[in-house]
Chains A and B, each alone.
Chain A
Amino acid sequence: MDGTVRFDFIHFMHYVHLPENQKEFASLWVDFPNKYFDPAKGRALYQRYMSELVLADELGFDAVVVNEHHNTAYSLMPAPNLIAAALIPQIKQAKICVWGTPPNLEYPNRLAEEYAMLDVMSGGRLEVAFPLGTGMEYWSNAINPATARERYRESIDIILQAWTQDGPTTYYGDFYTYRYLNPWPRPVQKPHPPCYIVGTGSPETVELAAKLGFGYASVFVTKDRAAELNEQLRRSGAKHGHHIRPDQLPLQVITYVAETKEKAEEEAVDHIRYFFEDALRTTPTFLNPPGYISLDQLKKRAALANKLHGAFSFQNINESFFVAVGTADQVVEQLTQWGETMGTNHFVIFGAIGDMPHWKVVKNLNLIAQDVIPRMRTAAAANRRVAAE
C-alpha cells in the first residue's frame, strides 16, 4: 500500500420492474422482450439512481462509476456517456469513471471525442475503461464477435493516437481508415485520462493492459483467479517497463454495512440473490457468441458459469467472490485483508445491489461513508507516516 486508499461507488442501474413471469425467461439479456420496459418507471429509476450517485459524491466517495450494456434489464445505461454528462454538473468533487463503452461499439474517433468532451467538461475528472464487451453485446450490436479482439486492439490504438499525437494524423488499419484523425476537443488530462481494461480474465486482455500500462479490473472472476490476474498484470507490466500501482488494480466488492452482521445479511442477501439469479441470468450461447473466446477459455468458463448462473447460494457466492456484508468493523477488516492479498488500495463499492430499495442504498452509503472510509483513510495515512519515517 502506498499510503492512500480510494473508494469508488459503482452503479449498474438495473431495470427492476420485471414481469411476474420473469423466471420463465432463460435470459434477461439479448432477447428479453423490451415490451416490459415502462418509460414512466424508467424515468423514476433514472432519477433515483442518479441521486444515489450524487449522494456518493456528497458523502465523500472518491469516484462514481458507470458502465454500458445493451438489450437488457440488467442496465439502463446503453450509453453511459450520457449519464456521465448529466452527472458532471451535479457531482462536485468525485472523479467520474466510465468503465466503459466497448470501443468496438462506436467509431473509435467518436469515442475519443466523447471521452475528451467529458474530461474537458468535468475539469479533468474523467477515468475510462475499455471493455471488450460481454458476449451479449455482440448479439445486440452489428459487430462480428469472431473478429472482436482484433478490432478492439485497433480501436484502442486509434483512441490513444487521437489523444496523444498532435493532429491531423492518419491511421490505416485492418478495420478503420482515418485520413484525418484530428478530434476536437482533446482531453485536459495528459497524456490522457487514466485508463483501465475491464474484463473477465482473458489472458489476452490482461496482457494488453500490461503492454499499455493500463489498470485492470476483473469482474465476475473468483477470488483466487482475481489474485492471479493482479499478479500476472504486475509481472507482465514490469516486463513492458510499466510499474503497475495498487490504485490501478480496482477491486469490486459487493458491500453492505448494517448495525449487526445478522441485520446486514437480512437486509442484503435477497438483493444479492436477485443480482445473481435474475439480473445476470443469461444463456451459455449469449455469453459466448461464435468466435468470441478461444476454445481453451470456453472450456474453462463452463466451470465458472455454473457458479455464476447456477442455483443461488449465499455461501457459495461468499466463498467465490468478494462479498463484504456485515458491521462496519467487519467490512473494514475484510477490505483491509483483501487490499493486502490483492495488492490494491482501490475499492469499487458495489453497494446498490440488485433490486435493493432506495432507503437501503442510502443507509449503506451513509454507513460506509461514516464508519468505513474514514477509518481506512486514517489507517492508510498512518502507514504513510510509518513509511516516511
Chain B
Amino acid sequence: MARPDPLAGFDRQVLAVNGVKTVVLTAGQGEPLVFLHGAGTWHGFAFALAWANKYRVVIPFHPGFGESGDDPGLSDMHDYVLHYLDLFDVLGIDKFRLVGFSLGGLLAAKFAVEHGRRVERLVLVGPAGLRGKERPTSDVLRLPPDQIPSMLVTNFDVIKPYLPEGPDLDFVGDRYREGGTLARLLWEHPYDLKLHRHLHRLTMPTLLVWGEDDRLIPVQLADVWRRFIPNADIQIFEGAGHLVLDEKREAVDAVQRFLS
C-alpha cells in the first residue's frame, strides 16, 4: 500500500530566505498560527488541518529538514531564530500564535524569549531543551534510528502508515539527513544549558501540552518548565506518547481552545 502523502491538504510555497530554500505549508484563512515541527518530518502534519478551520496555519520546514534546503552555516539554535525572523519578514507576518513541538518547542521557546511581543499565545508540545536532571530526556541522537518510531507513540497504528514496510534506502537517507542537521545543532549538548535562565521572559499566555506516556521527553519535565514559566498552563493527555498531537484529537482541540 502506498504511504499517505504527509502534506495532503496543505498549499506549498517555495521561498528563498537569506539564500536558504525554505518550503512553507499553509492551510486555512484567518489570523496566522505558526507551527514549528520536531526533528522528524516523516509523519506529516495532518493534525494541524483541524486548526485551519479558524486560522491560517503556517508550517515552515526548518532548513535541513523535510523539503527545505540545507545550510550548514546554520549551526546553532539561535541561527534558526534568526532564520525565522527573516522568514516572517518574507511572509509579512508580524504577530502570531506560536505552537512548537519537540525540537520545534525548544525553537519556539527561544523565539518567544527574544521576540515576546510578536507571540500572542504560545503552546509548547513535549518541548525539547531542558536537561531534566532527575528524569532526563532520552537523547534521540543516542537511539538507533530504527528504534525511534516505536518510542514516539503508545498506539503504533497511528504512525504505521507513514513508515516504509521494508528496507527503504530513500526513507533511511531522509532520516539520516535530518539526524545530521540535528547533530549539527545538538550533538555537544542535547539540551540548551542556558534556556531556563531566560524562560521568565515568557509572559504571554503559555500552554504546555504533554502525552502522559512520553518516552522521549518524560512528562515530569512539564513541572520543570513550569518552575521557570510560573503562569503556564499544563495539559497532559492519557494514552499518548511524544506524538500527542498525532495520537489525541483532544490535544489538538485543547490547543485550539487555548489559542482562541
Contacts and interface: CB of A to CB of B under 8 A. Distances in A.
A288 B141 CA distance: 12
B1 interface: no
Contacts of B224: none
A285 B145 contact: yes
Q: Which 8 A-B pairs have the closest CB atoms?
A: A291-B180, A290-B179, A290-B183, A146-B183, A144-B187, A146-B184, A291-B183, A290-B180
B169 A283 contact: no
Contacts of A144: 183-184, 187-188
A144 B180 CA distance: 10
Given A146-B184, A147-B184, A291-B184, A283 B176 contact: no
A295 interface: yes
Contacts of A298: 172-173, 176
B231 interface: no
Find the residue from B144, B172, B176, B179 having the highest chain A CB count within 10 A.
B176
Q: Is the interface of B mostly helix, strand, loop or mixed?
A: helix
Interface in B51-73: 72
Interface string B154-185: 00000000000000010011001101111110
A302 B169 contact: yes
A299 interface: yes
Contacts of B180: 146, 290-292
Nearest to A299: B169
A298 B180 CA distance: 12
B141 A290 contact: yes
Interface of A: 142, 144-147, 283, 285, 288-292, 295, 298-299, 302
Find the residue from A142, A290, A292 having the highest chain B CB count within 10 A.
A290
Given A144-B187, A144-B188, A290 B169 contact: no
A140 to B, nearest CB: 12
Given A144-B184, A146-B187, A147-B184, A291 B144 contact: no
Nearest to A302: B169
B176 A295 contact: yes
B182 A285 contact: no
A290 B182 contact: yes
Given A147-B75, A290-B141, A291-B187, 14 more contacts: A144-B183, A144-B184, A144-B187, A145-B187, A146-B187, A147-B184, A290-B176, A290-B182, A290-B187, A291-B179, A291-B183, A292-B180, A295-B176, A298-B173
Contacts of B177: 295
A292 B187 CA distance: 12
Nearest to B174: A295
Interface of B: 72, 75, 141, 144-145, 169, 172-173, 176-177, 179-184, 187-188
A298 B183 CA distance: 16
A302 B168 CA distance: 11
Nearest to B178: A290
A147 B188 CA distance: 11
14 contacts: A144-B184, A144-B188, A145-B183, A146-B183, A147-B75, A147-B184, A283-B144, A289-B183, A290-B182, A290-B183, A291-B179, A291-B181, A292-B180, A298-B176
A144 B145 CA distance: 18
A168 to B, nearest CB: 30
Contacts of A146: 180-181, 183-184, 187
A158 to B, nearest CB: 20
Nearest to A283: B144
Contacts of B72: 147
B63 to A, nearest CB: 14
B40 to A, nearest CB: 12
A164 to B, nearest CB: 29
Contact of B173 (A290, A291, A292, A295): A295
Contacts of A291: 179-181, 183-184, 187
A289 B169 CA distance: 16
Nearest to B145: A285
Contacts of B176: 288, 290, 295, 298
Contacts of B187: 144-146, 290-291
Contacts of B188: 142, 144
A295 B169 CA distance: 10
Contacts of A290: 141, 176, 179-180, 182-183, 187
A299 B179 CA distance: 15
Nearest to A143: B187
Nearest to B146: A285
A295 B75 CA distance: 19
B51 to A, nearest CB: 31
Contacts of A289: 183
A147 B73 CA distance: 11
A175 B156 CA distance: 42
